[in-house]
């Protein structure tokens, strides 16, 4: 294994020594310029989308608050119903149904 590891280290050292700089070439310079421009555009679009999402959340906040209040009220009423006698019957029927299904599958 030592010879393999030495070979990898020598190969890496040679690669690092020979590929430190990209040769000056108009094609490479043009490609790097396009890549940097594309990266700047991507950052700009991403920041714009973040800003748009934040503004949309701010604008929609009154409706979101009202919806959360309605959801809370609906959840509270359903919990009151589930804690009462009809809820106990529904849970019992569901439990019996689950037991029947498990019994049928086990055969």
The domains of the chain are located at: 2-81
The tens digit of pLDDT for each residue in 17-74 reads 766 666 678 887 888 899 999 999 999 999 999 999 999 999 999 999 999 999 999 9
- Token pair of 46 as six digits: 């991403």
Which residue has better confidence, 80 or 98? 98
Instruction: Report d(CA 68, CA 61) in Å as an integer.
Output: 10
pLDDT band at 1 (very low <50, low <70, confident <90, very high): very low
Q: Cβ of 87: how many Cβ atoms within 10 Å?
A: 14
104 Cβ contact partners less than 8 Å away, ≥ 6 residues apart: none
Helix axis angle for 85-106 and 26-83, nearest 10°, is 120
Q: Distance between alpha carbon 106 and the CA centroid of its chain, in Å?
A: 39
């Amino acid at each position: 294994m030592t010879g393999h590891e030495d070979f990898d280290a020598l190969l890496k050292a040679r690669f690092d020594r020979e590929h430190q700089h990209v040769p000056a070439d108009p094609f490479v310079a043009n490609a790097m310029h396009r890549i940097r421009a594309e990266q700047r555009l991507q950052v700009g679009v991403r920041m714009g989308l973040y800003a748009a999402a934040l503004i949309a959340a701010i604008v929609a906040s009154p409706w979101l608050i009202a919806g959360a209040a309605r959801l809370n009220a609906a959840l509270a009423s359903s919990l009151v119903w589930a804690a009462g006698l009809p809820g106990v019957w529904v849970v019992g029927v569901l439990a019996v149904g689950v037991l029947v299904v498990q019994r049928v599958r086990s055969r």
